[in-house]
Amino acid sequence: MKHIDPVCGMAIKEGDEAEKYEYNGNTYYFCSEDCFREFKENPEKYIKEEKHHKGCCH
């Protein structure tokens, strides 16, 4: 199953994530620790965004 990093928009295959995090009953997957930290600082910002950045941030 593929997931989308909510910070950078990168597609991530389950099991290949750098981090995963449960928030409000949902599990989010991240390509890097940087994206994970960014999300944890302000998760609502990324949950509400409809468009993601293209490409990876690291």
- Element holding 22 (H helix, E strand): strand 19-23
Q: Are 29 and 14 in contact (CB under 8 A)?
A: yes
C-alpha–C-alpha distance, residues 49 and 58, integer Å: 20
* pLDDT, tens only, 6-50: 999 999 998 999 999 999 999 999 999 999 999 999 999 999 864
Domain boundaries, the chain: 2-48
Greater model confidence, 53 or 33 = 33
Phi, psi of 12 (to 5 degrees): -130, 130
Q: Are 31 and 17 in contact (CB under 8 A)?
A: yes
Q: Which two tokens stand for residue 51?
A: 């468009």
Give the pLDDT of residue 1: 85
Give the pLDDT of residue 35: 97
pLDDT at 3 over 70: yes
